[in-house]
Chain A
Amino acid sequence: VEHNCLGTGAYRSVSEWLEAIKMGRYTEAFVENGYSSMDTVTQVTLEDLRRLGVTLAGHQKKIMNSIQEIRVQLVNGMVPL
């Protein structure tokens, strides 16, 4: 796929992303609450995670770190060379 160079393109779906970081148990909560594409996932805040039922500190940390990485990749991918 063409836009694979953009960070979010590295994961084709929310489910693939969550499985990759071993947080697959939250896939349903994400999708049911409207975070069903990688674009929407980059907007997620810690507050949102709590609402989604991600209450464990380690899981929050892991998901937020991964979102942060995706944001950085997205920004870098969009910067013209």
Chain B
Amino acid sequence: MCTNVVCEWLKALRLLQYAESFVDNGYDDLEVCKQIGDPDLDAIGVLLPQHRRRIHAAVRRLKDEASKGD
């Protein structure tokens, strides 16, 4: 079912219900997911504050991991 990295990422966050909308809106790899902010979540349709917080925190972790790699 989960064939894409974003799917795996959302599954780990227990937010798999948004997977289709992420991909439909072009957020289909973790590089583009690093750029997610509030306007992106609005477009994707993540409206619940607790879900938005969880994604914001995960995006921060993605960025942190990327900067460590440098």
A residues near B (Cβ < 8 Å) are: 22, 55-63, 65
What is the interface of chain A mostly: helix, strand, loop, or mixed? helix
B residues near A (Cβ < 8 Å) are: 22, 24-28, 32, 35-36, 39-40, 43-44
Q: What are 19 A-to-B residue pairs whose CB atoms are below 8 Å?
A: A22-B24, A22-B25, A56-B25, A57-B26, A57-B32, A57-B36, A58-B22, A58-B25, A58-B26, A58-B28, A58-B32, A58-B36, A59-B25, A59-B26, A60-B26, A61-B26, A61-B28, A61-B32, A62-B26
Residue of B nearest to A58 (CB): B26
Q: What's the least CB distance linking B41 to chain A, in Å?
A: 10
Q: Which residues of A contact B25 (CB under 8 A)?
A: 22, 56, 58-59, 62
